Amino acid sequence: MASRSATSLFDPAIARRAAIEAFRKLNPRTLAKNPVIFVTEVVSLGVTILFLRDLITGNGEALFSGQIAAWLWFTVLFANFAEAVAEGRGKAQADAMRRTRSDTRAKRLVDHKHLDGAFEEVNALDLKVGDIVLVEPGDLIPSDGEVVAGIASVNESAITGESAPVIRESGGDRSAVTGGTMVLSDGIKVRVTAAAGSTFLDRMIALVEGAERQKTPNELALSILLSGLTIIFLIVCVSLWPVALYSGATLSVTVLVALLVCLIPTTIGGLLSAIGIAGMDRLIRFNVVATSGRAVEAAGDVDTLLLDKTGTITFGNRMPSEFIAVSGVPEQALAEAVLLSSLADETPEGRSIVALAKSRYGLTEMDLSQAGATIVPFTAQTRMSGIDLKGRSLRKGAVDSVLASVGLGDGGGPPDFRAAVDKIARTGGTPLAVAENQRLLGVVHLKDTVKPDIKERFAALRAMGIKTVMVTGDNPVTAAAIASEAGVDDFLAKATPEDKLAYIRKEQQGGRLIAMCGDGTNDAPALAQADVGVAMQTGTQAAREAGNMVDLDSDPTKLIEVVGIGKQLLMTRGSLTTFSIANDVAKYFAIIPALFLATYPELGALNVMGLHSPRSAILSAVIFNALIIIALIPLALKGVPYKPIGAAALLRRNLLLYGLGGIVVPFIGIKIIDLAVSTLHLA
């Protein structure tokens, strides 16, 4: 599985660019999208004006108001820096992708009606949807499209990061090609399916740069909550002015602003955007492109996973598990016959049969050209393959076809032969009959081999509360056998595109969120209907357009990790929100006594931290409020570690760690800062 090289959390180049971007983001029109930080910027400007007034008039408050103003601006800058770092990591990837593009030339077919007609050389940017281009060895594919003629080996490392070439051919589910990839051998004719500027690579660049990132429903709801808290505390702080006057206390605007900024949820407000961007960034590093943040968020709430059997739960091809000889035939003789009849079989099953015969029975291959052999290739009509040697005619294939070739009807053959065939069918395998010179020799047991670690992965999903459903075109008996061995919760046998779509709609009507993966055109309706549709990069254009994620490695099992990344995003957002709100509790014990201690000495009992003075308490709380944002940037970008331990246990753990921790950490942090402030006589 290819994965893009990880960039350190604070790569020097990214950090430098983020520091510059932090100042550019001070533009009020930009900050208005983040109400909490926007309010912080406005009050920072107000305190700065007061500082300048105090400085000009020689007021003794200038040092205090100047320090408060400076740390308020740092709070805004640190919040901007967090977002800029997250965006910068995406822009670094976008720059790397952009370097793969050049001013490509394309050989465009003059007359679309004749594929063998003349071609003209044009700039790739001039291509239109529907144009047909010729791509020869060494050429870059000029735009996204589908192969309409030919077969070629294509280097897709520019997109997937994987150096191994892939095969692309006309027809089937491997006809889609991506602009910017290179043809290594042979030649193909490609019909353009994307206009310049809207190719897959263009969309990837826009997505990782964050240019098209929209806030998700969860993020919008949290933004509304934070805005509401900001308004409430703004009203509270404004109301404190007349209350203080009535009580005989004098509160400066600087102190009230410090109180406001410490009480509003600046921590999560400053990190919220960075968390969302980092979620998509983690998917990109895992070689999965999400077409929207909504898809990443939905992955964290998935209840049901639809997984294709072949290539996901089982290895992509059926593999032989044993050779069963009929009575009177030595097993070694059967293995030799199977080997000879499979030497010219270039299918994955044929190659695996040869490998098993050589490894288990110590057989060696024969030079067919010198043996005077006649190859009998497999065809869809005969459903058999084989070889004719001097005095020997060997056949291997579907049971009914081989029985007919030896003059026996369906259901014929020796009793032990029939027993072996029935047993294999009942266990979900595929029996292949082997015959020599009109005589049955035995049966090859082909089976779908379940991946060794898949059962444990499904158990982990079950612990998350996620239901797993295997989708297969097999008959119910075979599907049940594989499902039992793999440990899935349910299966859908003889599944048609309509069946998949109906199943997804039924589950969604029950309030469940569905994720599925697919690569064929027949998967497109289900991918579009699913809440999380992961299309394979090797799949058809229709599948890639229908899904809301594209797996560049075309690994269907990655759907499990996608769900984990989605859950990690939601957990990170929830954990840091809990931590931010819990922070405020500690700040009450720092600032409230400082505000009214002169008027109400009894409030000294709340000064449990033993802070040096009212001014040092206020300044220490403001400094801590700024520094905690920068301290939490690595956690926001990396994400809170996720373990499949169930929702209730997860909630308890996070409340203990981030709720209780959010209360304890400020007590310690503010006290340490207060000691430094008082020692340096800053307040």
- Mean pLDDT of all residues in 524-528: 86
State the catalytic residue, choosing from 54, 139, 281, 308.
308
- Mean pLDDT of all residues in 377-396: 83
C-alpha to C-alpha distance for 136 and 128, rounded to whole angstroms? 20
Nearest CA among 262, 330, 278, 394 for reference residue 669: 262
* 258 annotated among ligand-binding-site residues: no
Instruction: Please report, for residues 212, 310, 394, 444, the alpha-carbon distance to residue 346 in angstroms, rounded to integers and kept in the order given.
Output: 47, 19, 17, 17
pTM of full prediction above 0.75:
no
The count of residues in the chain is 683
**Residue 185 burial (10 A CB sphere; 0-12, 13-18, 19+):** middle
* 331 annotated among ligand-binding-site residues: no
Percentage of the chain modeled with pLDDT above 90: 16
Contact 181/167 with Cβ under 8 angstroms?
no
Looking at the DSSP bridge assignments, the partners of residue 314 are 310, 450
Residue 617, SS3?
A: helix
* 349 annotated among ligand-binding-site residues: yes
- Mean pLDDT of all residues in 10-34: 86
Residues ≥6 apart with Cβ < 8 Å to 370: none
**Residue whose entry in the numeric block shows the structure tokens 């089982």:** 314
C-alpha to C-alpha distance for 138 and 378, rounded to whole angstroms? 34
Higher pLDDT, 91 or 500: 500
* 396 annotated among ligand-binding-site residues: yes
* 380 annotated among ligand-binding-site residues: yes
Nearest CA among 642, 481, 657, 504 for reference residue 578: 657
pLDDT for res 74: 95
pLDDT digits (tens, 9 = 90+) for 401-460: 899 888 887 777 888 999 998 888 777 778 899 999 888 999 999 887 787 778 888 888
Contact 213/207 with Cβ under 8 angstroms?
yes
Pairing state of beta strands 304-308 and 514-518?
parallel
Write phi, then psi, for 29 (nearest 5 degrees): -65, -30
Q: What is the DSSP string of 552-592?
A: TT--TTHHHHHHHHHHHHHHHHHHHHHHHHHHHHHHHHHHH
* 546 annotated among ligand-binding-site residues: no
Nearest CA among 161, 103, 164, 105 for reference residue 133: 105
Instruction: Please report, for residues 91, 96, 280, 290, the alpha-carbon distance to residue 283 in angstroms, rounded to integers and kept in the order given.
Output: 15, 17, 5, 7
* 383 annotated among ligand-binding-site residues: yes
Instruction: Please report, for residues 360, 431, 444, the alpha-carbon distance to residue 321 in angstroms, rounded to integers and kept in the order given.
Output: 11, 11, 8
131 is catalytic: no
C-alpha to C-alpha distance for 544 and 528, rounded to whole angstroms? 10
Write a three-state SS string for 76-141: HHHHHHHHHHHHHHHHHHHHHHHCCCCCCEEEEECCCCCCCCCEEEEEHHHCCCCCEEEECCCCEC
Residues ≥6 apart with Cβ < 8 Å to 427: 447, 481
* 384 annotated among ligand-binding-site residues: yes
Percentage of the chain modeled with pLDDT above 70: 89
pLDDT digits (tens, 9 = 90+) for 66-114: 999 999 999 999 999 988 887 776 666 666 555 555 567 788 888 777 7
DSSP at 602: G
- Mean pLDDT of all residues in 619-629: 93
* 385 annotated among ligand-binding-site residues: yes
**What separation, in Å, do the N-terminal and C-terminal C-alpha atoms of the chain show?**
57
Cβ count near 177 (within 10 Å): 26
Most confident of 441-450, 515-524, 540-549, 657-666: 657-666
* 519 annotated among ligand-binding-site residues: yes
C-alpha to C-alpha distance for 485 and 309, rounded to whole angstroms? 12
Judge whether residue 189 has pLDDT over 60. Answer: yes
Write phi, then psi, for 120 (nearest 5 degrees): -125, 145
Instruction: Please report, for residues 22, 44, 553, the alpha-carbon distance to residue 26 in angstroms, rounded to integers and kept in the order given.
Output: 7, 11, 39
The mean pLDDT value of the chain amounts to 82
Contact 161/4 with Cβ under 8 angstroms?
yes
Buried/exposed code over 629-648 (b: 16+ C-beta within 10 A; e: otherwise): bbebbebbbebbebebeeee
* 381 annotated among ligand-binding-site residues: yes
Cβ count near 357 (within 10 Å): 26
pLDDT digits (tens, 9 = 90+) for 562-586: 888 888 888 898 899 999 988 888 8
